[in-house]
Structure 1
């Protein structure tokens, strides 16, 4: 049911002429006040949907991204949010790319610009410099005290959505809580480290690498490097995992899946020693007649119970049964549509708040 990596995600976008002020301020990519989030390689270039950067700018009137040759050709779709407004899609390519600044932004004020890649593939942005208008200056960006790490497959990566990951339930959940958030999810990938729908590795391998599974298809970077978790600018506070659909499609047995998932959690605990981990059960594949296709029924409960049995009391089961109906999915691929992702986010937000997590009252860096 999940699409081979050759699928091209088409995103609506706005193309802007690359015009920058000749006397603008040039910010190099190693400037300490650029707040990178997600996974970047050393070029620096993005991997995984949702990776990007944030900048806090004084006297902002214009901003351009100057991108290098590792940027996806002919373009990559990015989401841009200014002062915590709605994310707007902009297509960028190698060279200078002007980022639209809303007319409501007052040049004399401070502004927060958030930028991330939207797609689960064709999502590489190779940052060389940022050009700001003359008189602008970077200020420190203070991250939220909350940070979600989401781990999954197409059901978390925003596949088939017009704005990609920016409309997916993990992203929406993070935004509601005014949290930092990373989405390490890849369509078609199993948790088990096997070939699945064009993915040469499973998430149990790829999660610990810088690159997403698309590395295999690139000509300039067809290798993987270990991810340095100490490079994360803020510590993860909550981990959310929704995975298993592709393991079931690849005939991974119940016993094998429980073992792989348990081993994965053991390794995750070497990085995130005590943070809460939320294990989603499948909401299933809804059918037009009201029936559902489920997989690994009861096995997620077994996985959580196995952690509790060894003393890990901070792994929680999130039972998503009934969260998704046929009206919440695209009929042609049974993946959540835009309202479906919002519905899932709303249900998980309610679950988390009932569990005891409250949203931050305001963003840590005020615009």
Structure 2
């Protein structure tokens, strides 16, 4: 069966020459061709549900990845790692992978990923155990983990999760739409990975509203879909139909200490016909849902940015629901709510009173002045530079507001952003 699945994948996902567009031009890439004939190797093989494997973000019971930048992390001995992907892997999916804190390597049709020549292997001063990390870059695509292999006589080890966790709930702005590596170029990923020693979940999908209605082809809004494992893609409909798996918060590896919400750009679009009252009610219910699942989490409400418009001989930032979002923050921090807090279960209009009152836990993050008009691409999404700006400011906001130290030690965060000029005379 393993050989059959491997052969299937070889024909399905031949993406060693994947394409990245840069301002409409094809960026030069040199992805390794990692496809192998498994019969030529002597492997020790682990099933996808092995306890040594840590799945990051949301993966369903079939071990299929969902939302933005979901990952797989494990420790290993030896100098060889291979992965067999299942038949539910999407054609042309691009994944990033690396050993330890080395730079990201990108490939599709991914099989033999780590060899003795992979950066981070056979180093003079190794950090043990060696860790392997894989992330799915494409928000609309996904992979299915079938088997993980190491060399015969070697083994996998489970890497304990970090003590801090942050979760993003959002739409295309959080999922990395139109940035170079999508999920691995988004501001949300930049915050989660940039904090260092922090788990991060990016529960975001383009076009989705917070309001529970159809928006740009998404049949449900985040006030409902956040409670489910899969996103609102056509891929989810093909695999799960009308009966998606609820997300099991009890089995989640870690509980977020901070939840960051950036929703409303799609609700604010007249094409989706969302009333202000509907938006506010849905946003409040989503926060009630977060508070119910993560009672100790701090919530950050991000001010929306809606691109820029020319104003005279300069530019101004478009805003949406500015006062409404500020009022939502005030509502949750008011004595009226704190004296009788309520939660939302994602499926009905009923709320349930919590057992005990909470302290103020909702915060407002202003995006004014972070980006300028040329940090937004032609299709109204941040460029790579714009995403980095937002990530940098939001990271500092988290540090100053919650005292979270920045403990990243130099591991690459954003790939293909190393530009310099060291020529004095030209």
Deviations 1:316-340 (A, max 9, x none): 111111222112111x202001111
Higher Rg:
2
1:307 aligns with 2:332: yes
1:162 aligns with 2:180: yes
Distance of 1:295 and 1:67 partners within structure 2: 42
Distance of 2:235 and 2:133 partners within structure 1: 29
* Counterpart for residue 228 of structure 1: 248
The alpha carbon displacement at 1:349 in A equals 1.2
Task: Give the TM-score normalised by structure 2.
Answer: 0.77
* Counterpart for residue 255 of structure 1: 277
Contact 1:186 1:212 in 2 (8 A): yes
1:78 aligns with 2:104: no
The alpha carbon displacement at 1:251 in A equals 3.4
* Counterpart for residue 265 of structure 2: 245
* Counterpart for residue 176 of structure 1: 194
The alpha carbon displacement at 1:135 in A equals 3.1
Contact 2:99 2:119 in 1 (8 A): no
SS at match of 2:292: coil
* Counterpart for residue 295 of structure 1: 320
The alpha carbon displacement at 1:152 in A equals 0.3
Count of paired positions: 348
Contact 2:304 2:320 in 1 (8 A): yes
Distance of 1:294 and 1:30 partners within structure 2: 45
Alignment CA distance shift 1:158-1:10 (3 Å): farther
Alignment CA distance shift 1:15-1:162 (3 Å): farther
In structure 2, runs of 5+ residues without a counterpart are 1-17, 21-28, 339-358, 410-426
Match of 1:339 among 385, 388, 405: 385
Within a 5 Å distance, the mapping from 1:1-367 to structure 2 comes to 11=20, 13-20=31-38, 22-59=41-78, 61-73=79-91, 75-92=92-109, 97-101=111-115, 102-106=118-122, 109-122=128-141, 124-178=142-196, 179-215=198-234, 218-223=237-242, 224-249=244-269, 250-287=272-309, 289-309=314-334, 310-311=337-338, 312-330=359-377, 332-359=378-405, 361=407
Alignment CA distance shift 1:361-1:326 (3 Å): closer
Contact 1:34 1:54 in 2 (8 A): yes
Alignment CA distance shift 1:14-1:205 (3 Å): farther
* 248-257 vs 198-207, greater mean Cα deviation: 248-257
Distance of 2:59 and 2:52 partners within structure 1: 16
Task: Give the TM-score normalised by structure 1.
Answer: 0.89
Distance of 1:33 and 1:88 partners within structure 2: 23
Distance of 2:304 and 2:138 partners within structure 1: 23
The alpha carbon displacement at 1:230 in A equals 1.4
Distance of 1:182 and 1:205 partners within structure 2: 17
* Counterpart for residue 6 of structure 1: none
SS at match of 2:216: coil
